[in-house]
């Protein structure tokens, strides 16, 4: 099969080349941005004196009709027309006649697609920022509602020190806050307009680049036409932010998987965010968290694809850049799905407060507090560490927890240890409240942290339910 073409290469194009050449199946995702950019370009051509007022109005109105057809699902995409740009221009010309052929004056598909991509990426950044904020709000709400729930903090996946659930949820929130900043920074840097850069060296028509850029919501036109058409570092930067976000969501997902197991029992997902086994009737699987973990791998792959795609390109547009869309489309889709799914899952999950409390009472989590108690009695910390380590070993040999050791055993290990040490230093709740420094798990510190985070995110406090 061959398809006829005209112009510089009048011979038929081979079917394999046609399939390789066409990208409309992927880049038609850009149709909204392509139409918006074309309408702005038409008005720019009017200002430049290339078009008359009636011609510009006809083009803008025709493009609006094309948009309505696409929105309604009536538009016929033709692979033989290669891409989203040529499909829209061909239909526009059918609607408005020969004036449709004037739209591409002073413009190349090189600056056209670069503009579309920046507009599309900016829009998707904003959607992702909204989704990030929604997940952060759920975490803040849950941190506030679970403020009294104590649990162990972990290192090396081993119980380490007394903490509280709210403090742990706020750690998740801190990751999302930095993700927000990275995405905002990337969005700010990409917000420049390539339109008017032409194929590589601009155009001789007096296009009002600054005005067109302002109409499209850009900060201004890009300063160099070669850079404008051939650089995709804005996609790399956004993909990097999305990959890091994916890793963070995967870490949260990993804890959801662990916590929802019978071995932990810290969390129960609602049925709406779980699945059952096709074979084992008793199973309730945390698939939402596992799927989020999987999406992070694709986000990392998207970043890698974009980095490798551009690394060997000389300056000036290369057709390799046709492959820049699928990775960034996939990265955004995965990020938005993951954010929205985790938001719903964590909003509806039940936390196992009793299981967390029971875990806190196992694993000698107050050992550091007992060492600190000795420090207040004048014992150097290294010596105190050694003394308490010996007591932990003694407790394990007796099959006891550190706090269950008889007072005479404590006193035998060091004269400064007695009933007071057993009563205060080895109480998990007291240990949590001692950690009242900013960033610590004490109730007052976490309460202040939640309030400060709400202010940063621009979120109001959750309403307090009225007592019945």
CATH number for position 40: 1.10.275.10
Structural domain span for residue 296: 110-142+153-355
**Do 193 and 318 share a domain, yes or no?**
yes
Which of these, 62, 84, 44, lies nearest to 213 by C-alpha position?
44
| pLDDT, tens only, 104-132 | 999 999 999 999 999 999 999 999 999 99
- 162 and 92 housed in the same domain: no
Q: Is residue 417 part of a domain?
A: yes
Q: What is the pLDDT of residue 125?
A: 98
The span from the CA of 453 to the CA of 459, in Å, is 8
Residue 466 counted as domain residue: no
Look at residue 3 in the predicted model and tell me its pLDDT. Answer: 41
From the candidates 156, 163, 167, 261, give the one annotated as an active-site residue.
Answer: 156
Task: Give the pLDDT score at 281.
Answer: 73
pTM of the complete model: 0.92
Q: Note the pLDDT tens digit of each residue in 343-354.
A: 999 999 999 999
Three-state SS at 222 = coil
pLDDT attached to residue 2: 34
201-228: burial string, b at 16+ Cβ within 10 Å, e else: ebbeeebbbeebbebbebeebbeebeeb
314 and 379: one domain?
A: no
Catalytic residue (one of 261, 270, 276, 277): 277
86 and 121 share a domain? no
Which domain-ending residue is among 319, 339, 355?
Answer: 355
The last residue of one of the domains, among 355, 370, 401, is: 355
Residue 138, pLDDT score: 98
Residue 240 appears among annotated catalytic residues: no
Contact predicate 391/409, CB 8 Å = yes
CB 125 within 8 A of CB 238: yes
- What local confidence, expressed as pLDDT, does residue 23 receive? 83
User: Between 287-311 and 233-259, two packed helices, what is the crossing angle to 10 degrees?
Assistant: 160
Residue segments in the chain with a per-residue pLDDT below the cut of 50: 1-5, 466-468
347 and 251 fall within a common domain = yes
CATH number for the domain harbouring residue 364: 1.10.40.30
- Tell me whether residue 463 is in a domain: no
| Annotation says 156 is catalytic | yes
Whether 315 and 209 map to the same domain: the answer is: yes
Q: Where among 315, 340, 355 does a domain terminate?
A: 355
Sign of CA dihedral 72, 76, 82, 86: negative
User: How would you classify residue 108: left for phi > 0, otherwise alpha for psi between -120 and 50, otherwise beta?
Assistant: beta
Q: Which residues contact 338 (CB under 8 A, 6 or more apart)?
A: 246, 249, 291, 292, 295, 296
Report the number of distinct structural domains present in the chain. 3
Identify whether residues 254 and 396 lie together within a single domain: no
In a domain, 382, yes or no: yes
- pLDDT of the residue at 11: 61
- DSSP classification of residue 99: G
């Amino acid at each position: 099969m061959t398809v006829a073409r005209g112009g510089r290469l009048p011979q038929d194009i081979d079917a394999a080349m046609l399939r390789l050449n066409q990208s409309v199946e992927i880049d038609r995702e850009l149709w909204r941005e392509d139409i918006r950019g074309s309408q702005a370009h038409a008005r720019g051509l009017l200002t430049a004196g290339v078009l008359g007022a009636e011609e510009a109005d006809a083009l803008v109105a025709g493009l609006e009709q094309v948009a309505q057809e696409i929105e309604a699902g009536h538009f016929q995409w033709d692979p033989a027309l290669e891409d989203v740009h040529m499909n829209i221009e061909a239909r526009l010309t059918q609607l408005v006649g020969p004036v449709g052929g004037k739209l591409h004056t002073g413009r190349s598909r090189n600056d056209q697609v670069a503009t579309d991509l920046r507009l599309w990426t900016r829009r998707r950044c904003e959607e992702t920022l909204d989704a990030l904020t929604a997940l952060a709000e759920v975490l803040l709400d849950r941190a506030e509602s679970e403020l009294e729930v104590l649990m162990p903090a972990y290192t090396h996946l081993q119980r380490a020190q007394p903490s509280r659930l709210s403090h742990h949820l706020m750690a998740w929130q801190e990751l999302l806050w930095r993700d927000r900043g990275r995405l905002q920074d990337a969005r700010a840097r990409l917000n420049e307009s390539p339109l008017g850069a032409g194929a590589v060296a601009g155009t001789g028509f007096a296009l009002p680049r600054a005005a067109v850029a302002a109409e499209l919501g850009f900060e201004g036109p890009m300063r160099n036409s070669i850079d404008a058409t051939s650089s995709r570092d804005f996609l790399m930067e956004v993909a990097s932010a999305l990959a890091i976000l994916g890793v963070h969501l995967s870490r949260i997902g990993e804890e959801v998987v662990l916590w929802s197991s019978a071995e932990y029992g810290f969390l129960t997902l609602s049925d709406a965010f779980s699945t059952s086994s096709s074979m084992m009737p008793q199973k309730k699987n945390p698939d939402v968290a596992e799927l989020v973990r999987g999406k992070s791998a694709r986000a990392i792959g998207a970043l890698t694809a974009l980095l490798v795609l551009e690394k060997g390109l000389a300056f000036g547009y290369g057709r390799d850049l046709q492959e820049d869309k699928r990775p960034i489309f996939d990265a955004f889709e995965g990020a938005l799905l993951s954010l929205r799914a985790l938001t719903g899952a964590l909003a509806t999950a039940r936390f196992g407060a009793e299981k967390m409390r029971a875990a806190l009472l196992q694993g000698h989590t107050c050992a550091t507090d007992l060492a600190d108690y000795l420090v207040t009695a004048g014992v150097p910390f290294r010596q105190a560490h050694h003394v308490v380590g010996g007591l932990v070993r003694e407790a394990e040999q007796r099959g006891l927890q550190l706090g269950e050791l008889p007072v005479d055993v404590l006193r035998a290990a060091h004269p400064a240890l007695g009933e007071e040490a057993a009563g205060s230093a080895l109480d998990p709740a007291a240990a949590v409240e001692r950690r009242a420094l900013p960033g610590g798990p004490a109730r007052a510190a976490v309460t202040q942290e939640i309030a400060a985070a709400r202010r940063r995110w621009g979120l109001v406090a959750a309403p307090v339910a009225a007592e019945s």
